[in-house]
Chain A
Amino acid sequence: MSLFKKSPWVLHYNCSSCNGCDIEVLAALTPMYDLERFGIINTGNPKHADVLLLTGGVNAQNMDVVRSLYAQMPDPKVVVGIGICALSGGIFAPCYNIHGGAATAVPVDIYVPGCAARPESIIDGVIQALDILQQKADAMRGRRRPAALAEEAA
């Protein structure tokens, strides 16, 4: 049973975003989009989370925070980078203290494009990340699905 796809709990961390993407993340939790339909819960706690949503680029000060949050999440886990800033640092990339996108701190599985990313595409990104989450879960249990094996062979 693909339980990870049915019950992804999300942790959202704002690296150094302009808050535009964060507001869109929060919008996805409103009754209008109702993320709980998919079993998605927004937790404020890395130890309960399966999916880490990162907005904004990583700077010198929050590098350790992002890494610590990632380390505190029990396996399996995935990271979704939201917005152009999380991809490359975006318009903040030339700033003196910006290291770059979220991948400079932790491994990112899915990028959601946009400035700001739309709630619809954020939901879409999280749903796509769940496939990767499930693959990681299967790998953890040592019995990967035939589909994943075939993909690897190809």
Chain B
Amino acid sequence: MDMTGIAGAAAFLIGAPVAGGLLAGIDRIVTARMQGRKGPPLLQPFYDVGKLLQKSRLVVHPHQGLYIWGFLVFLLIAGALFFSGGDLLLSIFALAVAGVFLALGAFSVNTPYSHIGAERELLQMMAYEPMLIIAVLGLYQSTGSFLVRDIVASGRPILAELPGVFLGFLFILTIKLRKSPFDLSSSHHGHQEVVKGVTTDFAGPDLALIEIAHWYENILLLGFTYLFFVPLHPALGIALAGATYLLEVFVDNTHARLRWQHTVKLSWWTGATLGLANLAILDLLR
């Protein structure tokens, strides 16, 4: 790994919690405005996590926290791989392992709500993984490399070559960001039918870790979104990735939650039609 790679990974490890927390704050304000409310202060997510860290640690069993550390550590690995310009495939596999750790943590406790949440988490993974792989394959087909630094340096008109893959990716991004209509396993809003799904039995500092991990995850996903805008000026690309996030917030506020059957079916169909068709057409045109 060269110096820029190490710098990229370090920037992610240090900067992502700050950027992710701010993003969460913007998310909450925009959501409130869309609902005709004023909303919390921008720094509210930091207040929340700070408070959670100060609460007493209430656990069902001692190794419950281990799974959460697994979730966080594998997210860090996935993000560091990505932002150091490393292998995109390895990065999304580490992301999948992180997701499994979260589900394991939720399965390890007794609450039925947590179990339902964990089952739905796995179903969601089943729903989005195919399209995520197709997106990575599409980027490879367009640029000829799985390495993030090569993709960024390729200068190919990625979005023009992969419009279907991009739309399919936007679809599963909604699942990954835990937005409605796909926030089955744990909604950001309380009073869901499964209480808080996967996070139901995590209290205080453990919940804070999950929250921080989500911030890392969201920044990683925005980084992934950015890859589609690569040939543009970086500032414009980052702005467009940010706009994509706002679009997801809009979708979140205008849709009711779907059932898992629909979620899996819809995302598989999107992957099979938009994603694979795009790959096939690109192959024919070459």
Chain A interface residues (CB < 8 Å from chain B): 1, 3-4, 6-7, 31, 34, 36-39, 41-45, 47-48, 50, 72, 74-76, 137, 140-141
Contact = CB atoms under 8 A, between A and B. Distances in A.
Contacts of A50: 51, 55
B192 to A, nearest CB: 7
A72 to B, nearest CB: 8
20 contacts: A3-B51, A4-B51, A4-B54, A6-B41, A6-B44, A6-B51, A7-B47, A31-B36, A31-B37, A34-B32, A34-B39, A36-B28, A37-B39, A39-B44, A43-B190, A44-B191, A50-B51, A72-B58, A137-B54, A140-B56
B39 A43 contact: no
A48 B207 contact: yes
Contacts of B37: 31, 34, 36-37
User: Chain B interface: which size bin?
Assistant: 20 to 34
Contacts of A38: 40
A39 B41 contact: yes
Interface stretch (B87-95, B194-202, B238-246): B194-202
Q: Would you call the interface of chain B mostly helix, strand, loop, or mixed?
A: loop
A76 B28 CA distance: 26
A142 B242 CA distance: 43
Interface of B: 28, 32, 35-41, 44, 47-48, 50-51, 54-58, 190-192, 195-196, 199-204, 207
A36 B190 CA distance: 13
B38 A37 contact: yes
Given A41-B190, A50-B55, 6 more contacts: A4-B51, A7-B50, A31-B37, A37-B39, A39-B48, A74-B203
Nearest to B193: A44
B204 A42 contact: no
A44 B48 CA distance: 16
Given A47-B201, A48-B207, A3 B47 contact: yes
A47 B39 contact: no
Given A6-B47, A36-B39, A44 B28 contact: no
Given A1-B50, A39-B47, A74-B58, A44 B195 contact: yes
Given A31-B37, A75-B56, A76-B55, A47 B44 contact: no
